Structure 1
Amino acid sequence: MTVRTHVDRCPGVLRPWIAADGAIVRLRLIGGVIASSSLSRLLAIAEEHADGTVLLTKRTNLQLRGIEHADGCVPPALVEALTAAGLLPSTSHELVRNVMVSPLTGRTGGLADLRGTALELDRLLCAEPELARLAGRFLFVLDDGRGDVGHRTLDLGVTAVDAGHAQLRIGSQLWGPVLPLDDVPAALVEHALRFLAAAGTGESAPWHVDELPGQGAELVAAPTPRDVRTQVRSLPLRHGMIAQGADTEAIHLDVPSGLLNRNLVDAMAASWADEVIVTPWRSVIIPDLEVE
């Protein structure tokens, strides 16, 4: 059993981690999605204020490091630049927005399109002041039924069982009811609030559902068997071109060491459309490319 001796220190823009080479900040992406224009601007910001690279994390976040700092704070000009680029949409909840989603959901494969579910979850999270207390490592995982991210150690999440329903997950071991997709965001927020009530406050308060007694059993109204349709797991997504439909395709690109630099971003920009998707595998997907 994990015993905490201090509060979570996961870095954000407004609460950086101070390392030997400068401050580290982490940017939250919902489902790993970032506007292509924002990624280009972020690389320019990294070149001006950080070490010139953007790190992809295994939780589909982005990280800058090597930033000058004073009294534990990064320069206001950096905060302003990130805000203008749309990369700091919530100052109160910037640390509690880990929402991992099947990267190709709604484009190809999977049982359900979870893009709208993820966005509504993010809206509800940011609208609930109490949820600003969630640890920066608290993780929501939404698997669209293909089994590509559902095997991750998580705090709360769902796995789709058909196009309109998903089974709720509580911690890494427990399962809740099968719900209509429209009800999923509110159910996840409700269980996150239950977690905070059970965890309490102070330096010894748990950061994760699995750290509660019974691995979160007290958050579940009644035990629910795991739906057999959730028992799937995908092979790792291959790099290269991926068919989306009759007229579009995506390309999955490996990012060496998870570090985006100017050369790689400029090469990507030659073909991308509106969005880029950061994956949990320290790679990126450029979706919605027209088939030539």
Structure 2
Amino acid sequence: MTTRSRDHDACPGALSVHRAADGALARIRLPGGALSGAQLTAVAQAAARFGAPDLELTSRGNIQIRGITDTDAVADAVAAAGLLPSPTHERMRNIVASPLSGRSGGLVDVRGLVSDLDAAIQREQALVESSGRFWFGIDDGRGDVSGLGTDVGVHALDGRHGALLLAGHDTGVRLPLDAAVGALIDVALRFAAVRGTAWRVAELADASDLVISAPTAEPGATWPPVVRPPVGWIPQDDGRVTLGAAIPLGVLPARTAEFVGAVESPVIVTPWRSLLICDLDEGVADVALRVLAPMGLVFDENSPWLDVSACTGSPGCERSVADVRADAADAVDDSAEGHRHFVGCERACGSPPGAQVHVATADGYRIRPAKP
């Protein structure tokens, strides 16, 4: 499969790669963060063979491969794994959903909505030229995703109804959950038609025309950001187990990813750059934990690694003035409270909501206070 150059939107995909300081970078969209063990293994093997031997987990629940030497080979491997169902729409499939939905907690299982929305996105030709940064959120009622500030989202209020969100704010519009996909697509199409040079809904001078349904509740409500991933031994509602693994600084060695894939269970990449290994019998979960913990996966919910993150930094990003990952790793054992995110320039890529952002400068780090 042939990769494409990017004439307009700089947001990379599996085909439209970004030329970073350390080589070509491909981003693989995972609606809802979901992939199989076999698919994770295929991505890991592609990275090991044709790029840097690490996978980057992103704050949108996607996977990146850096330093690619053969972009066509990586694209072919991604397509062969079933992770590229629509070459034309690959960058539009930005869907984040409550990672534990349908397995542990939540008001409703939203996994079917994720699949339906993904299919609907791929049917809309008008979305092909829309922003690759526009993203959708589906929250199963627990409030983990609604605080991320997605461009448009649905927050389940019960098993049948939800609130329509715009840029993380409740619009006051209430709708049946079986009408959620249509409403989300309608907003995305309206954004594509009026966006001009805007990449995100929050950049529009007036976003009021994106939602045409009349509000029936008080608008404006927001949800507090969740900054820590679900970690450890998580009992599922069906009696099985999910293992939640934090990934230090979101960097997953390809070899370790192959071991995760070898468990042969569904995997979720979360918006907190962690992994969920799902649907495990207790015996399998116990073995997997014993094998993966010594490889660097963090299953301790009290680990200081859960409170620090970083952008790529030097040498991978030409804009960065510091090796922020190394600096973040050095700061892990500090006693500072709250989540700290280290970035190499003012763009502050990947900054999670609610984090204190440490911006690298020529004179050291400048602290940007956490935003609600």
Query: TM class by shorter-chain length?
Result: 0.7 to 0.9
Q: Distance in 2 between matches of 1:227 and 1:165?
A: 16
Q: 1:180 offset after TM fit, Å?
A: 1.3
Partner residue in 1 for 2:269: 278
Percent identity over paired residues: 41
Change in 2 beyond 3 A, CA 1:39/1:64? same
CA RMSD of aligned residues (A): 2.2
1:240 aligns with 2:232: yes
Q: After the TM superposition, which of the residue ranges 53-62 and 165-174 deviates more from structure 2?
A: 165-174
Residues 39-50 of structure 1: pairs in structure 2 closer than 5 A: 39-50=40-51
Q: 1:199 offset after TM fit, Å?
A: 1.7
Q: After the TM superposition, which of the residue ranges 8-17 and 95-104 deviates more from structure 2?
A: 8-17
Change in 2 beyond 3 A, CA 1:182/1:153? same
Change in 2 beyond 3 A, CA 1:104/1:230? farther
Task: Give the secondary-structure state (helix, strand or coil) at the position aligned to 1:9.
Answer: coil
Partner residue in 1 for 2:29: 28
Partner residue in 2 for 1:208: 200
Q: 1:16 offset after TM fit, Å?
A: 0.7
Match of 2:148 among 152, 172, 187: 152
Q: Distance in 2 between matches of 1:227 and 1:107?
A: 30
Task: Give the secondary-structure state (helix, strand or coil) at the position aligned to 1:151.
Answer: helix
Q: Distance in 1 between matches of 2:208 and 2:271?
A: 28
Residues 89-128 of structure 1: pairs in structure 2 closer than 5 A: 89-128=85-124
4+ runs of 1 displaced by more than 4 Å?
A: 226-235
Partner residue in 1 for 2:260: 268
Match of 1:252 among 244, 250, 253: 244
Q: 1:238 offset after TM fit, Å?
A: 3.9
Partner residue in 1 for 2:80: 84
Aligned length: 276
Q: 1:49 offset after TM fit, Å?
A: 0.7
Which amino acid letter does the alignment assign opposite residue 32 of structure 1?
G
Change in 2 beyond 3 A, CA 1:17/1:228? closer
Q: Distance in 1 between matches of 2:23 and 2:195?
A: 33
Task: Give the secondary-structure state (helix, strand or coil) at the position aligned to 2:146.
Answer: coil
Q: Which structure has the higher relative contact order (CA within 8 Å, separation 6+)? A: 1
What 5-or-longer segments of structure 2 have no aligned partner?
Answer: 1-6, 284-372
Partner residue in 2 for 1:8: 9
What 5-or-longer segments of structure 1 have no aligned partner?
Answer: 1-5
Which amino acid letter does the alignment assign opposite residue 43 of structure 2?
L
Q: In 1, are the aligned partners of 2:233 and 2:244 still within 8 Å (CA)? A: yes
Which amino acid letter does the alignment assign opposite residue 209 of structure 2?
E
Q: After the TM superposition, which of the residue ranges 169-178 and 115-124 deviates more from structure 2?
A: 169-178
1:225 aligns with 2:217: yes
- Cα displacement string for residues 196-245 of structure 1 (whole angstroms, at most 9, x for unaligned residues): 22224xxxx2111112223x112222345348998677683442100103
Q: Distance in 2 between matches of 1:146 and 1:82?
A: 32
Q: Distance in 2 between matches of 1:181 and 1:109?
A: 18
Change in 2 beyond 3 A, CA 1:47/1:35? same
Q: 1:51 offset after TM fit, Å?
A: 0.7
Q: 1:162 offset after TM fit, Å?
A: 0.2
- Cα displacement string for residues 177-203 of structure 1 (whole angstroms, at most 9, x for unaligned residues): 211111111111111111122224xxx
Partner residue in 1 for 2:329: none
Q: Distance in 2 between matches of 1:230 and 1:160?
A: 14
Change in 2 beyond 3 A, CA 1:227/1:242? farther
Q: Distance in 1 between matches of 2:226 and 2:250?
A: 22
Q: Distance in 2 between matches of 1:255 and 1:235?
A: 14
Which amino acid letter does the alignment assign opposite residue 157 of structure 1?
G
Q: In 2, are the aligned partners of 1:159 and 1:230 still within 8 Å (CA)? A: no
Partner residue in 2 for 1:67: 68
